[in-house]
Structure 1
Amino acid sequence: MNIDEVVVNFSPGSLVALNVVLALIMLGIALDTSPADFRVLRRAPRAAVLALLAQVVLLPAVTFGLTLLLGVQASIALGMILVASCPPGNVSQILTYRAGGNVALSVSLTAVGNALYLVVMPLNIALWGGLHPTGREILAQVSLDPVAMMVDIVVIIGLPFAAGLLVRTRWPSLAARVHRPVHVISILALVGFVVAALAGNFAVFVAWVGVVLVAVFLHDAVALGLGYLAGRAGRLATRELKAVTFEVGIRNAALGLGLVMTFFGGIGGMAVVAGWWGVWDIIAGLTLATVWARRTRARERQEVAA
């Protein structure tokens, strides 16, 4: 069985419902985002520039090289490129807090990143996917037009994001009450869509799960490592270094799953990569955050004792 040939099909009505779910995901993110969060470029310009460059430029480029090095199937490679091109996930803020990092910086970077990715996400997918020797064949099959995809993303994702920011600005108490239910319901609905769609092709995904596990493990490690190295290169303080590490390493794979279904016809390898990324990203991130927090506390105790 060839995972590149597996397609998760949706009816037109289901696709409309899926687009609504994607819109709710971005609405939930925006309802928890303050306009003041966008001032990070002025408050911490060095950390912001490093984080954005590492995410927007370096991560997709390094991911492209990793897919060539691993020699994975076309749809798996394109799934890795898609995830690397997705905006940062809100989980980064939880992990930054867990690790003892600068949570305010993390919140601001996520806000700026989600707005910026409305433009750069389709461009990165088209660029690096189009350069991939086998992945570009899939892009040709789905007839991906980056401009058309950008328009769709603005309508499906950008407008709900702007609406959420408006509600947060004008009616903050309402935003505080509804943002968590909207976020939880949208994620659960997306997971339900994916589980139902993949159930019919379960044997294929089991056959390829080993390849995906290795690819995602290495890819996630590279993303977190890239964030750490970017922070170290900029000589950031420890708390800011932690925030940048998780901001670069944590991707919104849930959104990536929705994009696979909406824009790529539910291609099997892309769906499996995005799905497992969302699971492993949290496991790896929590592990790193816990170890990092313990090491920081131990060092602080030694400094006090000295």
Structure 2
Amino acid sequence: MNVDDVVVNFAPGSLVILNVVLGFIMFGIALDTTVDDFKAVAKAPKAMIIALVTQIVLLPAVTFGLTLLLQVQGSIALGMILVACCPPGNISQVLTYRSRGNVALSVSMTAVTNVIYIFVLPLNFAFWGGLHPTGSAFLEQVSLNGWQMMLEILLIIGLPFAVGFLLRARFPRFAAKVQPWARWISLLALVGFIVAALAGNWAVFVSVLGIVLSVVFLHDAVALALGYGAARIGGLPPRDRKAITFEVGIRNAGLGLGLVFTFFHGLGGMAVVAGWWGVWDIIAGLIVATLWARHSKKREGADASGVASSASAPEATA
């Protein structure tokens, strides 16, 4: 089966549901965002600059090179590029917390980055997708309208974010109570939606299972490594490195999936890549965060033992 010729079945009503779920995710992010988050970025911009450059410039560029290296089909290549051009997912904050990273930095980065991506995503995707030797043909077929995509993203990301942000500013106590529920409900709804979409197109998914699993696994690993590497080279402390690792490695693939069905009519390779990314991204992130947390715990225990030994040494001598 040629995945470039496959169209994934997706009812119009399902697209509305997906957009509502995505909007609810952004609403949840905004409930955890304050003006102070933006001020914090302005006061200490180094981490944010590293995160933005890595996400907006390096990740799409490396992804483009990866599609050429792997010689994947055009629709799969476009799916990889689209995911790389999407903003970070809100679970990056959860993973940063679990890994004992800098949660405050993660919250600030996610808030600022998602606002910027309203304008950056269409331009970035059009640029890298248009350069691809086989993927560019699909852009020509659909006559991709950057302004229309920007408007779509503004409605999905910008409007819910603005509502949540204003609600947090006006009713902070209420927002603080609702935010944890909004985060997890929206995340579970998104995962459930993606799983249902894959199950509904199981024959298509199985036909490209091998290539999609390997491509998404490698692509996700590269994204996580890129985030960590950029933060380390930038001289950031360990807790900040963790935050940027997940900020770069965790993408809002659900948004990508919605754009695939809105502008590419469910093009097989793009849809399957974005769909599986949304599932594997969470699994891989949880694995990395858990291993990181265990490593940090052991290191803290070793440091505590060292301090205790040093403190008891004079007593033993005496």
C-alpha spacing 1:180/1:264, structure 2 compared with 1 (3 Å):
farther
User: Alpha-carbon deviation of 1:5?
Assistant: 1.6
Larger mean CA deviation between 171-180 and 47-56 belongs to 171-180
Residue matched to 2:232:
232
Instruction: Specify the alignment match of 2:283 in structure 1.
Output: 283
Q: CA deviation at 1:223?
A: 0.5
Aligned to 1:5: 5
Question: In the alignment, is residue 155 of structure 1 matched against residue 165 of structure 2?
Answer: no
Residues 110-140 of structure 1: CA deviation (Å, up to 9, x unaligned): 1111111111111111111111111111111
Alignment of 1:214-229 (within 5 A): 214-229=214-229
Q: Given that residues 114 and 157 in structure 2 are in contact (C-alpha distance below 8 angstroms), is that contact kept between their aligned partners in structure 1? A: no
Take 1:96 and 1:183, find their aligned partners in 2: how far apart are those partners? 15
Single out whichever of 283-292 and 123-132 deviates more from structure 2: 283-292
- Between 258-267 and 61-70, the greater mean CA deviation after superposition: 258-267
- The alignment partner of 1:295 has SS state of helix
Shift in alpha-carbon separation, 1:118–1:180, aligned structure 2, 3 A: same
The answer to whether the 8 A contact 2:224-2:245 is kept is yes
Aligned length: 306
Where does residue 69 of structure 1 map in the other structure? 69
Counterpart residue type for residue 273 of structure 1: V
Distance of 2:181 and 2:24 partners within structure 1: 10
The equivalences for 1:179-198 within 5 A come to 179-184=179-184, 186-187=186-187, 190=190, 194-195=194-195, 197-198=197-198
Say whether the 8 Å CA contact 2:7–2:266 is kept in structure 1.
yes
Corresponding residue for residue 313 of structure 2: none
Q: Find the counterpart in structure 2 of residue 242 from structure 1.
A: 242
Please give the secondary structure, in 2, of the residue aligned with 1:137: helix
User: Which residue is equivalent to 2:24?
Assistant: 24
Q: Corresponding residue for 1:82?
A: 82
Check the 8 A contact 1:18/1:262 in 2, yes or no. no
Cα deviation, residue 174, structure 1: 3.2
Change (3 A) 1:193 1:248: closer
Deviation at 1:194, TM superposition (A): 4.6
- For 1:117, the equivalent position in structure 2 comes to 117
Structure 2 residues without counterparts, runs of 5 or longer: 311-318
1:197-220 superposed Cα distances (whole Å, 9 cap, x missing partner)? 554532121010110011011101
Does structure 2 conserve the Cα–Cα contact (< 8 Å) formed by 1:3 and 1:205?
no
Q: Which structure is larger by alpha-carbon Rg, 1 or 2?
A: 2
Q: Residue type matched to 1:93 in 2?
A: Q
Distance change in 2, residues 1:21/1:237 (3 Å) = closer
TM-score by length of 2: 0.88
Stretches of structure 1 that go unaligned for 5 or more consecutive residues are none
With 196-205 and 43-52 compared, the bigger mean Cα shift is at 196-205
Letter of the 1:145 counterpart: N
Q: Kindly report which structure 2 residues correspond to 1:155-174, keeping only aligned pairs within 5 A, or say none.
A: 155-174=155-174
Identity of aligned residues (%): 67
Q: Distance in 1 between matches of 2:18 and 2:294?
A: 41
How far off is 1:284 after superposition? 1.6
Rounded Cα–Cα distance in structure 2 between residues aligned with 1:27 and 1:300: 36
For 2:164, the aligned partner's letter is G
Separation in 1, partners of 2:166, 2:106: 21
Q: What's the counterpart of residue 49 of structure 1?
A: 49
Cα pair distance change 1:268/1:97, threshold 3 Å: same
3-state SS of 1:251 partner: coil
2:8–2:204 contact (8 Å) kept in structure 1: no
Q: d(CA) in 1 for partners of 2:122 and 2:22?
A: 16
The answer to whether the aligner puts 1:133 opposite 2:133 as a matched pair is: yes
Moved over 6 A (4+): none
Structure 2 CA distance for partners of 1:218 and 1:207, relative to 1, 3 Å: same
Query: What whole-Å deviation, never above 9, does each CA across 1:187-240 have from its counterpart, x for those lacking one?
Result: 555556555555453212101011001101110111011111111111111111
Residues 23 and 160, structure 2, Cα contact 8 Å, conserved in 1: yes
Shift of 1:169: 1.0
